[in-house]
Each structure stands twice: as structure tokens, then as C-alpha cells.
Chains A and B, each alone.
Chain A
Amino acid sequence: MQLEPRTHTPLWMTISAPIIAVFVVMILCSGLILWAGAPLLQSYVALAKGAFGSKFAIAETLVRATPLILTGLAAAVAFRAKLWNIGGEGQLYMGALAATYFGTGMINLPAPLMIPFLFVVGAIAGGVLLLIPALLKTRLNVDEVVTTLLLNFVILLLANYLLFGPWKDPMAMGWPQGAPIIDEGILPKLVAKTRLHGGLIFAVLASISVWVVMTKTKWGLEIRAVGLNQEAASFAGIPINKTIIRTALISGGLAACAGVTEVAGTKEYLTLDISPGFGYTGIAVAMLAGLNPLGVIVAALFIAGIYNGADSMSRAMDVSNYIADVITAASLLMVMLAVMLTRMRIRFS
């Protein structure tokens, strides 16, 4: 078996590749649904309804998509520079911790200032967290994959300590959760009687901004050059370490903003389960989007829909909602394969 590069990839192929990949994943995962003894068609209908079947479902899917857009962007930006940031989960919690620290009464500003302030401090906290692995990589040649992964556990334990200890809200009847974010810091609701909040607008704006930075600015050129060919970039005089550090700050900051949207928007206080793995799922979102910042929005909507749909499917059909994790993981792998096949053809001999 040999792989040969295609000289030309038609546009339809680029666009349809992820769609076909996801379709194949759905067929493969049908086996798991059948194993659970659930009728296939009805299960998928339940899934679709749970994801997009009503105003409430759509709102919930958008709520879930919000942090996924941000963690997906974080991964997309970092991976463009071949900075393997697998620490989105830790950075998310870092953002949530910062929002809780500053947003529960320590500082009191009117809402138009308070909300941006929370995003800024959150982003700084997340950026600084990723700065550690980035510095270790650029200064001491320490592999960032392992350090970012390990830091996730450290930060989760830190949050655990704070919520069981000094930050525990005495009004929460013994539950390990933080004090509520002050009213000025709460993201405004977008649609009445739903949980849909302004974080979505922030996430979409973030996607557009990242797209603009990546395609229209000097920084974007530097990040892409470093990721595609570090040696040539270095030879041409592009500051490699500076670019990696800058990428780390942007990426860590974006992931941390997901923590801010969850604490100040979805939950309105910090708990230890604000993220069911949004940091890791963000990697799947980024890959599904082909690392395109605008594609991240679509990919996040899809993944969020799968999770919410799987929840309601599991209630209706007795199929464990872990099926959503399976679909996400399988999509990640299948999309990689599909995108490669748009660039290469396989020749068997």
C-alpha cells in the first residue's frame, strides 16, 4: 500500500470530507445502539430532537457549544503553530478560578465593565498557565504535550482544594461550590426562559477575531509559518520563541474564557463539574473544523448537539449517554483520515 499526494484537491472534496467522515461514524456507532437493544431509527430521531428539536433544545445546545467554541479555538490556534496544547481543561478551570476570585465580590464594577474585566482576568490566568509549558518548551526543550496534560490534574486538584476549603460557599448546604458571581458579572440572558447567555456572542466574536488574526495580520503569518516549517521561519528571521509564547498566551487565554462563560454564564458559580471534559473535546472540535476558526463554530454546534442529543436519547432509549463521547472520539479520528484522503490517494499494489 502506498500513499501518493494529489496534485489538486477540488473544493467539494474539502467540504464534503468532514461530512462524510461524520456520516461513517454514525453508521459505525449504530452497532453500539443496536447492542443496547434500542431501535436504531427512533434512537437517532431522539438524538436529533434532543439536539435541535425545540426552542429549549436548541438553546441548550447553544449553551453547550459556547465553551466548546472557545476550547476548540484554543486548540486550533495552538495546533496551527504545532504547539501541542492538550491542557485546555486545566486552562478552562484556571479561567473559572480567576472569575470566581475576582467576580464574587472582591471587585465591584458596573456590568459593562465587570463582564469584560472577568474575561480579561480569566484569559490572563489561562494564558499564564500555558506560559509555563511554553517557556519550558522554548527554554529547556521540555515536551509540552506531557506538561500540559499533567498540569490539568494539578489545576483540578487546586480547584478541588479551594472548593472544599477556603472558597467553599457556606450557603451551599455543604456542597463544594464557590460563592455566586455578583449580579454585575453575570452574562446577560439572550432568550427568556432559557439558559442561553451572552457567552455565545463572545465565543462567536472570538472565532471571527481569531480568523482575522490568522489570515490578515502579521501575527497570523508568523504563527502559521512557525507551524508549517519552523526551520524556514527561523532562517527568514521570524522570531520563533516569541511566536510560540504569543500563541500560548492566546490559546491559553481562549480556553480560560470557556471557564469564564461557564462560571459567569451557565452556572453562575464555580463547581467541580463545570466542565465535562470541554478541554479535551475542544481538540476534537478543532480537528473537525480543520483548524479553521470559523469552522470551529460549526464543529462545536455539532458536537454540542451530539452530547445534548445523547442525553435525551439515553433518557428515552436506555442507551448510555457515553455514546456521545464515543461519537466525538470516533469523529476526531475519522475526520483526520478523511482530510488526509483529500490530500493523498491510496494506491494498493
Chain B
Amino acid sequence: MDFFDMFLNVGFWAATVRMATPLIFGTLGELICERAGILNLGIEGIMTTGAMVAWMWVYQGGDLWTAVLVAALFGMLFGYLHSIFSVYMGLSQHVTGIGITLLATSLSYYSFRMLLPGVTTPPKIIPFQPLPIPLLSDIPVIGEAFFTQSPLTYLAFVLVGVVAYILYRTPVGLAVRMVGENPMAVEVQGIDVYKVRTGAVMVGSAFMAVGGAFLTISVFDAFYFDMINGRGWICVALVIFASWRPGKALLGAVLFAAFDAIQIRVQQSSASFIPYQFFLMMPYVFSILALIIMSRKAAYPKALLVPFRRGQR
């Protein structure tokens, strides 16, 4: 296969958009948290939980969309737990995040084992089916690549706009941005810093969980251990790459997914002389490279990682 033919291939673009979806959810979620000044390293575990509960909900006879809501709810739950430590108690966000990841992951695995004792091959469900958008999906090539996707994928793209609008055009978005820059500036205007931060972390965590759910109830039809496989950490890198802007986050996620799609295709056609493990390393290596390129001029939200303690001298 000629390398450049790939870019004319419908399957390639469809795969790119599909693979970008969980990253969009995750990156947006992390972005919301960090805009409010909270680094949420619980992302990897929260995505795992989202993947598990959504799948389990459907497996137990639940409806797909309700499963998305259930995942979001569990995401919020862990987000709330995160904020008790990071927002209210002002503890190290690094360690809290790792703790939440370990807790969310282990609880998910434990619950999975408890609810399905003794299964060896993971059982399957019927996931979201592609939803062709009328008219648009009839456009040749583009229609099939971009407008015959899972409803969750459309949701992800729409949410990018929604999040950007809320952040930059509404009072609550202003509060979130300001609380990540200088919490005291928000406090003196009579707004509760803790509530704004907690709210942002909960909503962000819900996004992450839905990103995880996308994997089990849209792309795949089963839940596997270790299936998040570092996607959460990649999202953390993508937020820096995106300079904390939703539009750039979308760009980053799609770019990243495209590289991943290229990598898979090249891998399939050249497996004979380059071991596949090196292709699998690519996403992580790309993330590190993206960080190196962007970090020099990264304009962090100023209050990121800085706890706010009310009434303290």
C-alpha cells in the first residue's frame, strides 16, 4: 500500500475520528479541572471506572444512553472524592490524583470480579451502532468517514463547542477561569472558591468517565482489564499541548488519533521488519514529544496546583 493512499482511505479517517473520541472526552475533562486550578491525575482510574460501569449497566440489561449517564455519575462521584482532598483539604494534587486512580481502578476491577465471578472470556454486549446523519452521510468519502459515527462521537465534538462557549461566554465559565488564575479574586467577589473548583472537578471527571465508557459501549463490546492503557495520561499531556484551550484540545486529540491510525496501518503493512511493540510505543513517545515542544512556552493557569485555604493567614 502506498503511504499516501492512506489519506484517501475512508477507513483511515473513520478510524481517526473514532480513536479521537475518548481522547476528546478525557482531554476536555482534564482541561476543565486544570482551568479551575486542579490537576486531576485521577483521570486514568476514572476512565477505567466509566468503562466498567457503563458496560456493566448494559450487560445487566440497562439502556445504552442511561449507561452513559451512569458512567458520568460515577465520574462525578470520584471527582467529588478528589475535590475533598485537593480542594477542601488542599492536599498534594499529584498524590491525590494517583490515589484516586489506584482506588477507582481497583474498585472497578473488584466490582467486575464480584459481579461476574468465574468468567474467563469477557462477555459481550450490543454497543452503540453508527448513526448516519441524514444528508451529510451521503457525501462521498467524507460522509462515510465523518458522519457515520457513533452518537457518542458526535456528542464529543459538540461538547468541544459547548465547553468553549461556557468557558469564554458565560459567567460560570469566567468564574472557572478566574479561580484557576487567582482564587482570591473570586473569593472577594463573594463567590465560593471551593464550590467552583469542586464543580469543575466533578464535571471534568464526568467527561473522563464518559470517555472511558465510549470504549466499552461504542468501540468495543466488552470490558477488559488494563483497557484504558495510559489513555488518561495521554490526555493530561494533550491538555498541555492544547495550551488549555478547548479548540486546540480537539485539534490535538484528532492529530494524535491520526498518528495512531497511521501507526496501525504502517504496522500492518510492515510488521515483518519492525516489531509491533515499537509501533505501540508511538503514542507515548508522541505525547512526550508534544510535551517537549509545547512546555517551553506553556502558559499554565497560575493557580494550578496551588491550594486555596480560606480564612488562613
The distance in angstroms between the C-alpha atoms of A145 and B95, with both chains bound, is 10
Q: When the two chains form the complex, which single residue of A2, A136, A140, A154 contacts B311, counting CB atoms closer than 8 Å? A: A2
Q: Indicate whether A322 sits within 8 Å of B110 (C-beta atoms), given known contacts A150-B234, A329-B103, A340-B89.
A: yes
Interface membership of B124, Cβ < 8 A: no
Interface membership of B230, Cβ < 8 A: yes
Contact with B along A183-224 (1 / 0, CB 8 A): 000000000000000000000000000000000000000000
- Among residues of B, the one whose C-beta sits closest to the C-beta of A150 is B284
Interface membership of A170, Cβ < 8 A: no
CB proximity of A321 to chain B, nearest CB, Å? 9
The distance in angstroms between the C-alpha atoms of A35 and B237, with both chains bound, is 38
Interface membership of B158, Cβ < 8 A: no
Please state if B98 and A337 are interface contacts (CB–CB under 8 Å).
no
In the bound complex, residues from chain B placing their C-beta under 8 Å from that of A53 are none
The distance in angstroms between the C-alpha atoms of A316 and B91, with both chains bound, is 38
In the bound complex, residues from chain B placing their C-beta under 8 Å from that of A2 are 309-312
A-B contact count (CB 8 A): 139
- Among residues of A, the one whose C-beta sits closest to the C-beta of B240 is A143
In the bound complex, residues from chain B placing their C-beta under 8 Å from that of A332 are 95, 98-99, 102-103
Q: Which of A39-47, A103-111, A155-163, A241-249 forms contacts with chain B?
A: A155-163
Contact with A along B206-243 (1 / 0, CB 8 A): 00000000000000000000000110011011001000
Please state if B92 and A336 are interface contacts (CB–CB under 8 Å).
yes
Interface membership of B105, Cβ < 8 A: yes
Q: Indicate whether A3 sits within 8 Å of B284 (C-beta atoms), given known contacts A140-B295, A142-B295.
A: no
CB proximity of B205 to chain A, nearest CB, Å? 15
Q: Which of B138-146, B159-167, B178-186, B272-280 forms contacts with chain A?
A: B272-280
Interface size class of B (residues with CB under 8 A): 35 or more
Interface membership of B117, Cβ < 8 A: yes
CB proximity of B208 to chain A, nearest CB, Å? 15
Please state if A330 and B229 are interface contacts (CB–CB under 8 Å).
no
The distance in angstroms between the C-alpha atoms of A283 and B94, with both chains bound, is 11
Chain A residues with a Cβ under 8 A of chain B: 1-5, 32, 35-36, 79, 84, 86, 136, 140-143, 145-147, 149-154, 157-158, 160-161, 164-165, 280, 283-284, 287, 318, 320, 322-323, 325-326, 328-330, 332-333, 336-337, 340
